[in-house]
Amino acid sequence: MPKSERPRETRLSRELQQAVPSRRITPRDAFELALAKWMNGDRVEVGAIAGELGVAKATVFRWVGSRELLLGEIIWSLLDAAWKHVLSVARGTGADYAADVTYRLMASVLRSVPFRRFLEQDPENALRILTSKTSIVRTRIVDEVCKMLRELVETGHIAPALKIEDLAYIIVRVFESCLYSDQIAGTKPNIELTSEAIRILVGARSASEPTGARPSSTSTKPRRRKRTQ
């Protein structure tokens, strides 16, 4: 199974992990300004951000790494918030819970006007930032899905047939193909079908699991359930 390369860590990524921001002009200031521009539909340019902050363009580049890495941090900040929210409100247990998490996440992303605008304005560049092997967004969401799956395994709700890392990678590729289906194939996203496929993937049991130990929520028979987003 192909794995994503770890994206390059930048001063911005380190600063965003700090609990207390600095009072001087910092990478966080560049990030907040870029985020505001992105949310408003303005083009994010490192030179323009440097000018508004009153620092050298080279300084901002040292902070953020590149325009693509900066955009990745912006998108991840929003996706991370959405992910934490859906983890807290998703229903069900085991594979049903995993499917509901991904359903709600996809629905949240597709409702985002700035995100849809970003995909529509420059789909080729957007897909590279979102899904390339060095993408901050893909690497971190795969890590988050791994954490969710490990917790489901540790609590006895699933016994997956695949290694957790491989299953997480496949799940992310599946919902990426749904979210970006319009840009990739010209078809509308079908999040109901995609979440059902993810439920089946997560519910597939390891052949080594003892008979009678199957979690009650991991049947692989497709079920249509009315969801609240």
Q: Answer whether residue 175 shows pLDDT above 90.
A: yes
The pLDDT-based confidence of 65 (bands split at 50, 70, 90) is very high
Assigned domain for 220 exists: no
Is there a single domain that holds both residue 34 and residue 113? no
Mean pLDDT of 21-34: 86
Q: Is residue 107 part of a domain?
A: yes
> pLDDT band at residue 10, thresholds of 50, 70 and 90?
confident
Q: Total structural domains in the chain?
A: 2
* CATH label of the domain that carries residue 79: 1.10.357
Would you say residue 112 lies in a domain?
Answer: yes
Listed in sequence order, the residues at least 6 apart from 224 whose beta carbon sits closer than 8 Å to its beta carbon are: 192, 196
pLDDT in tens, 83-114: 999 999 999 999 999 999 999 999 999 999 99
Same domain, 59 and 72: no
pTM (two decimals): 0.80
Is the same domain home to 91 and 37? no
* Average pLDDT of the chain, as a whole number: 87
1 found inside a domain: no
Q: Which of 41, 65, 89 is the last residue of a domain?
A: 65
Q: Is 119 inside a domain boundary? A: yes
What does the pLDDT read at residue 13? 79
Token pair 């594979």: residue: 95
Instruction: Verify that 73 and 55 share a domain, yes or no.
Output: no
Q: Confirm whether 209 is domain-assigned.
A: no
Range of the domain at 43: 11-65
Alpha-carbon distance 80 to 140, whole Å? 9
Lookup: tokens for 31: 């990030």
Amino acid 212: pLDDT: 47
The confidence score (pLDDT) of residue 211 equals 47
